[in-house]
């Protein structure tokens, strides 16, 4: 299993966004988490596709785009065109997730399905084989710098069991409150892609990114 850090630019300094991304990329981090929020599915509004297109020109990282929007199927084609590598939609926001996942794959992108903390894993009963990644929100979505919800650890563990029982290689991404105090719990539960916002971006972005990148590399080495 491959372990990846996916720093969330929602916590970056947007006045220095290009510099912040380069600081992370130069440490060897492969993923970049990009939250698109519409102010309807979640309370906040973040940014649109022009920003994704602009940073795509200066980064070779895997763009991990998380559509936190109502009816995300309306934006899949534009998300792909903007430079996304992985497109994740919310089960709660999508009327026809099976069709949306198929659309993402037809555009040559990896497909992820996201679940909010209180959404049952049963939402995945007929979708798990179809997606490349499941994103489990470990805070209620919409704002950065929230505290990790403890019961999500058991949910991650249960999902990893489901994946293994079906003989799948599906990635588990966790998003929300991931930092030095919570990282061990989610790794041991079975997550392998970790979104981190305020834990990475800040006064010492490069140092923070390298710290978590190395931690994940060490964990992977010790769990071959």
Domains and CATH numbers, the chain: 4-222 (3.20.20.70)
Per DSSP, the three-state class of 162 is: helix
Q: Which residues are annotated as a binding site for substrate?
A: 8, 66, 175-177, 197-198
Quote the tokens at residue 215. Answer: 């931690």
Q: Kindly report, residue by residue over 90-116, the tens digit of the pLDDT.
A: 999 999 999 999 999 999 999 999 999
How many CA atoms does the CB half-sphere of 55 hold within 13 Å? Answer: 25
CA-CA distances (angstroms) from residue 106 to 26, 114, 131, 183, 207? 32, 19, 13, 34, 38
The angle subtended at Cα 18 by Cα 214 and Cα 38, nearest 5°, is 95
Options 13, 35, 171, 218, the catalytic residue: 35
pTM of the model: 0.96
- Contact predicate 145/183, CB 8 Å: no
Tell me, what's the pLDDT at 144?
66
Residues of the chain with pLDDT under 70: 143-144
Per DSSP, the three-state class of 11 is: helix
Residue with structure tokens 């991304």? 21
Tell me, what's the pLDDT at 188?
97
- CA-CA distance, 27 to 19, in Å (whole number)? 13
- Contact predicate 116/90, CB 8 Å: yes
175 is catalytic: yes
Options 64, 171, 175, 184, the catalytic residue: 175
Backbone angles phi, psi at 175, to 5 degrees: -140, 110
Backbone angles phi, psi at 117, to 5 degrees: -50, -40
Tell me, what's the pLDDT at 224?
76
Tell me, what's the pLDDT at 193?
98
Quote the tokens at residue 23. Answer: 């600081």
- CA-CA distance, 133 to 40, in Å (whole number)? 24
- Contact predicate 146/182, CB 8 Å: no
CA-CA distances (angstroms) from residue 123 to 13, 113, 134, 149? 35, 10, 11, 20
Q: Which residues are annotated as a binding site for a divalent metal cation?
A: 33, 35, 66, 175
218 is catalytic: no
């Amino acid at each position: 299993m491959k372990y990846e850090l996916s720093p969330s630019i929602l916590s970056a300094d947007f006045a220095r966004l290009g510099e912040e991304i380069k600081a992370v990329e130069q440490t060897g981090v492969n993923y970049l988490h990009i939250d698109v929020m519409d102010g309807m599915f979640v309370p906040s509004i973040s940014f649109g596709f022009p920003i994704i297109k602009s940073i795509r020109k200066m980064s070779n990282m895997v763009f991990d785009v998380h559509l936190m929007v109502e009816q995300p199927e309306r934006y899949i084609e534009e998300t792909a065109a903007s430079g996304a590598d992985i497109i994740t939609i919310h089960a709660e926001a999508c009327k026809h997730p099976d069709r949306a996942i198929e659309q993402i794959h037809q555009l040559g992108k990896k497909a992820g399905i996201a679940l909010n903390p209180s959404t049952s894993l049963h939402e995945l009963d007929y979708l798990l084989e179809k997606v490349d990644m499941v994103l489990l929100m470990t805070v209620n979505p919409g704002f950065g710098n929230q505290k990790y919800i403890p019961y999500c650890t058991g949910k991650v563990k249960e999902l990893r069991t489901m994946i293994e029982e079906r003989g799948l290689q599906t990635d588990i991404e966790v998003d929300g409150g991931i930092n030095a105090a919570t990282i061990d719990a989610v790794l041991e539960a079975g997550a392998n892609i970790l979104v981190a916002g305020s834990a990475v971006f800040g006064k010492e972005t490069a140092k923070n990114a390298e710290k978590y990148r190395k931690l994940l590399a060490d964990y992977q080495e010790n769990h071959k």
